[in-house]
Amino acid sequence: MKIFLALLSFFFFVVPPVFSQSADENDIKTMLNAAAAASGTQSWAEVSKNYWILDNSTTYYCSYSDGSFVEMYADQMKASTATPVDAPATTQLSNYQIVVSGNAASVAYDQQRNSANGEKIFTHEILLVEKTGGSWKIHLSTVHRYVP
């Protein structure tokens, strides 16, 4: 009887959260791949409207291998309507590390961006994403460019 109760508890309390997190992880990966693809052809204003939570704490930070950096907030994202200078660019995301906790998740991954002129840009990205209205969206992002 104890074994039966232990197995029953396992299937009711351990298995569902594992599968639920896996579904959330897949949803997050899908959203990130779509956002990365959109960033290769659309303006910051378009990408942020579709894939970001835009409020007073929204932050995008990118550091470059030469030590310079760019920092943007929600208002700046909404106002940035220019098409990317390297458009059309393609992206490939890999090495995901995702930790889901309820309606929030921390995400780390590597990205390779291939611009129209043949330039390859490598980044390591760390994000805070939140589930709002049933969809995962980016709230904070820190991007670190590097030369492999």
| Predicted local confidence at residue 18, as pLDDT | 52
Q: What is the pLDDT of residue 90?
A: 92
Q: How confident is the model at residue 116 (pLDDT cuts 50, 70, 90)?
A: confident
User: For 82-115, what is each residue's pLDDT tens digit?
Assistant: 988 878 889 999 999 999 999 999 999 999 999 9
Q: Which whole number is the average pLDDT over 137-143? A: 97
4 falls in which pLDDT band (50, 70, 90)? very low
| Whole-structure pTM value | 0.82
Reported as a single tens digit per residue, the pLDDT across 23-80 is 999 999 999 999 999 999 999 999 999 999 999 999 999 999 899 999 999 999 999 9
**Which H or E run contains 60?**
strand 59-63
What gap in Å lies between CA 125 and CA 107, rounded to an integer? 8
- The secondary structure of the chain in percent helix, strand, coil, rounded to multiples of 5, reads 35, 40, 25
